[in-house]
Amino acid sequence: MKNLNAGVAVITGAGSGFGREFALAATQRGMRVVLSDIQPGALDETAHLVRNAGGTAACVVGDVSRAEHASLLADTAMQQFGTVNLVFNNAGVGSGGLVWENTLKDWEWVLGVNLWGVIHGVRTFTPLMLKLAQDNPNYEGHIINTSSMAGLLSPQLLGAYNVSKHAVVALSETLYHDLGAVQSGARRVDCSVLCPAFVPTGISQSHRARPADLQNDVSPTASMKVAQEMTHRAVTSGKLTAADVARLTFEAISARQFYIFTHPKIMATVKIRLDDIANLSNPRDPFGLKEEVRPNLQRAE
């Protein structure tokens, strides 16, 4: 996808992290943006930054786990700007702990945002973008689904998060193949899956925006406390910034690159997992964390 100028980007999770940087990167490239977040204040801050940079932004506050929110985003984009060229299904949250200790509300919250948010975006925007391509021979569109390196690995204490991100990778790969099946000649609607590793984005504090009806009514377990501490430490120590990831993502869009990996050194660990599968070996610890996790669990009890 080459020509972004005067196009329209729809971005969920736009109040912070990758979403905010996607909005600024799109603005720098001459795009108008439709921004979504569950936190009105954070969303307003991003819109302010976009407008200060000379851009145009429309804002929609809402919960991506609800199908009607994706429909509202599409309606807003078409009514205000008349088209959609980029869709960033980006909103994400994190929750940790031993997989059998995750509560039903943990699963509902994490899968609702991380997976159902992407599903709703794909179901709403793909047919719209294919119709736009059918009606306009010069149209180009691209869907970017935010997964994680946790969508290619299965580190301990991140069960619900891992499940959601693996599902996003599978959904995105299927979307890629399905788009190829319905388009003859050059693909004018394409897609990518973004798999970042540890980047300072604030996701380790995403519980602050957790809806009241999905709040746990029990105290966090020792494993949940350890997972929160380890995730926060890993995320905040990341050297790559959210702005760096946005730049890499837009480069991948221009190159029509499907897999977007921000930390290539981790691919050696992905290969270990793939080798274990191919060789029918028992899974190895992806990050060698077992010796760290055990004493931390004991300390937190």
Token match 């159902």: residue?
Answer: 116
d(CA 176, CA 190): 7
Other beta carbons less than 10 A from residue 49's beta carbon: 16
Which amino acid belongs to residue 253?
I
d(CA 133, CA 138): 7
Active site residues: 161
**What is the phi/psi pair of residue 259, to 5°?**
-80, 125
d(CA 243, CA 17): 8
d(CA 238, CA 108): 28
- The conformation of residue 12, written as its DSSP 8-state character, comes to S
**What is the phi/psi pair of residue 37, to 5°?**
-165, 160
DSSP lists the bridge partners of residue 141 as 189
